[in-house]
Structure formats: C-alpha cells, structure tokens
Amino acid sequence: MRNIITLTVTIILLVCTVFSWYFLLPLYLKSLGASDKAISVLYFLFNLAFYIGQIPGGILTDKIGRKPIVVGTTLLYALAGYGMAFSSSWLSVSIFYMVSLLSSSIQMPAILALVFESQEKKGTSFGMTSFSFNLGTAIGPFIGAMLLGKVGIKGLFLIYSITALLMGIARWIFLKETLKGKPELDSLKDLKIDKTRLMTIIGGTLFFMCLSLTLNGPYISLFQKENLGLSETEINIIFSKAGIISAIGVLIFGKIADRIDPAKSWAVSSLLHPLLLLGWALLKGYLPLLFISILLAEICYVVYPIFVSTIFSESSRGRGLGVFGFITGSIGSLSPLLVNALSRITGFFTPFLLALGFGVGAFGVIIKVGGEKHGR
C-alpha cells in the first residue's frame, strides 16, 4: 500500500501543475504563430512521443526495475518544464514538451507494472491512482485559471518544473521496488503474440485512435474556444469541473472493478465516450454530456491496464505493457492527421465523428476478445 499512497500523492501534485496549462497549450502555440494545420501535426507528434518510448521503457523496467525508471523520468519532467518556461517560439516549446511526453512514455510500463504488483486488489490500486490523476486534472485547471493573469503561462511551466524535481526526490525516497529478481531478457518467448494478445492490441489501437481525437487531442479545447466562444479561463474551469466528477467516479468504480469483467467495462466505455462527446458538440456545449463522456474515458484507464496486465507474466509484464502501449499509441497518434484530410467535408465536427467510428470498432473487438478469454 506504501507504493500506492506514494504514487497517489505525487501524481496529484504533478498532474495539478501539468493541467494548470495543458488545455491552454494549443491556444498558446497558436498565439506564438503555429497554424491550425501545424497544431494538428504537432499533436500527432505529441501523441507519438507519448507512446514511442514504451518499448525501451518496458525493457528497462524488466531489466533494472520499476522504481529507477519512475524516479529518473520524473526528474526529466523538471528539465522539460524549465525549457518550456524559457522558450520563445512555438517550435522550441513543442520540442521541450515532447521531452516531457517521451519521459512519460518510458515511465508508463513501469508505473502500470508497479501499480499492478503493489497489492492484491488491482481495481482499488488503479482506482486510487486514476482518482489522483483526475483530482489533479480537476484542481490543475482551477489553479491555472487563478494564476494565469499573475504569472502567465510561462510561470505555470516553471511551477511544473519545480514540482517535478520535488516529486522525483519523493519517489526516490518512498517507493519500494516490486520486481522480484532480474529476469533474463534474451528470449522473446514470453512475448509471443497469440490470438488474445493480437486482438487486444487491435482493440487498444482503435481505442487510442479515438482518444487522440478527444482527451489526448486539441479539439475539445479548440471547439470551446472557436465554436462556443469561451475564454481560456472558462475552458479551464469546465475541465476542472470535469476532473472533479471523474475523480469521484473512478474512485467509486475502482472499488467494484475487481468484481466485474474489465474487458466489458473497457468496451462499453470506449463506445459511449465518443458518442456522448459528439452529442455535446451537436448540442452546442451541453455540459452534462461532456462530463459523463470524460468520466467514461477515465474509467477505461482503470480497466484496460488490469485486462492487459493479466495477459503477461510478471517477468515480461513491463515489456508486454510497453509493446502494447507502443503499438496502440503510435498508430493511434495518426488520428489528428486524418482531421486535416477530412476537415473540409465535415468541418468542426470531424474529430468527433472520427472518434465515434473508432469507438464503435474498439467496442466490437474488445468485447469479442474479452468473451473469448473467459471462454464465452
């Protein structure tokens, strides 16, 4: 439980500082001269950077342990935030942001393995860490809205840098390693892609293609700014409210996650998330639909790691999660490029229509692989 508490506290503080500026980043890049097409390409690269390091991250996680990877990459966040704070062009800000995302990519398999291995109640573990993430996303935009006029977005970047340095030290002191021994990594036998793993990767790819157009993309923020006429402060406050709802929701859901089928939960949430988001856009910003949609996406982050972790052994779990994250996330990162190609046909609704299509596909594949894994 020590690891879960440490991660819960440090995630809250880190995510608070990230989300004080995260939803404003596409608007800031635009103010520095980036075009709409450049922003779409940048978010393809951002999403790619968030996933591309997961294979080497998984290998390192299984080779040297979960804790060293988590601590080292957290310290890299501090460097990235410092660089963003003192950059004056959209290109240099984007480069340092990608350093932060690449660090997250390398860290992801270690975090997931650490959470899965730290206690028996997996749903509770992932529910608590998801709660901390969502609480951070709730408090962060509110803090950003309050501080933006005083310190500017560069000041928010600097606060993120200092916090990351402190959290890296805290994780080094308090985290406990969960990898038992150092397994041999010469063989890829444990990573053989059987039918269950292949179908899981396909379903996960469609899921992340959806997310690249919703929570992990710029389009919700841009839609609120350009179609609904909301200010940066109003946008941050809306995401703050959504974060509070999601934090409470995933904490409650985590308590029951061990009693339900994680594949079914993942499949249904993958479908309803983009469907409700499209409804929000068509109804000109009807907030209850946006809040429920975001909650469903966050529920996916509770259940999909549980399901994916069960299809790999402890000795190959880091590599397995890394391979899954790299393939699904890298392909999923292509989604923003499709928006550029199709935006003339459907305009501002293009990202949400595409996301729904990917959500339908993810539902079909994940519900099938879940049923086959349990012999149904």
Residue 186 lies in a domain: no
Is the pLDDT at 189 greater than 70? The verdict is no
Residue 30 lies in a domain: yes
What is the overall mean pLDDT for the chain? 87
**d(C-alpha 108, C-alpha 170), whole Å:** 18
**d(C-alpha 50, C-alpha 57), whole Å:** 11
Whole-model pTM?
0.75
Amino acid in position 34: A
Host domain of residue 240: 2-177+193-373
Residue 134 lies in a domain: yes
Q: Tell me the H-state helices in the chain.
A: 2-18, 25-31, 36-52, 54-64, 66-85, 90-118, 122-174, 195-211, 219-226, 232-256, 262-282, 287-310, 314-332, 335-346, 350-373
Query: Residue 374 — very low, low, confident or very high, per pLDDT cuts 50/70/90?
Result: low
Residue 183 lies in a domain: no
Q: Model confidence over 342-356: pLDDT tens digits?
A: 766 556 688 899 999
Q: How many CA atoms lie within 13 A of 162 on its CB side?
A: 7
Structural domain count, the chain: 1
CATH of the domain at 341: 1.20.1250.20
The pLDDT assigned to 326 comes to 86
Residue corresponding to tokens 């939960």:
265
Residue corresponding to tokens 């994940």:
366
The pLDDT assigned to 376 comes to 47
Is the pLDDT at 185 greater than 80? The verdict is no
Query: Which tops the pLDDT comparison, 356 or 341?
Result: 356
Q: What is the dihedral of CA 296, 297, 303, 305, to 10 degrees?
A: 180
CB 199 within 8 A of CB 372: yes
CB 70 within 8 A of CB 114: yes
Decide: residue 189, CB within 10 A, 0-12 exposed, 13-18 middle, 19+ buried: exposed
Residue 182 lies in a domain: no
Residue 87 lies in a domain: yes
**d(C-alpha 63, C-alpha 184), whole Å:** 8
Q: Model confidence over 273-298: pLDDT tens digits?
A: 999 999 999 998 899 999 999 999 99
The pLDDT assigned to 186 comes to 46
Residue 184 lies in a domain: no
CA 28 to chain centre: 21
Q: Model confidence over 94-114: pLDDT tens digits?
A: 999 999 999 999 998 899 888
Who's near 210: CB < 8 A, 6+ residues apart?
A: 270, 273, 274, 332, 335, 355, 356, 358, 359, 362
**d(C-alpha 50, C-alpha 99), whole Å:** 9
Query: Residue 73 — very low, low, confident or very high, per pLDDT cuts 50/70/90?
Result: very high
Is the pLDDT at 263 greater than 50? The verdict is yes
Amino acid in position 217: G
**d(C-alpha 119, C-alpha 258), whole Å:** 12
The pLDDT assigned to 338 comes to 81
Residue 188 lies in a domain: no
In this structure, what token pair is assigned to residue 59?
A: 């290998």
Query: What average pLDDT does range 121-133 have in this prediction?
Result: 84
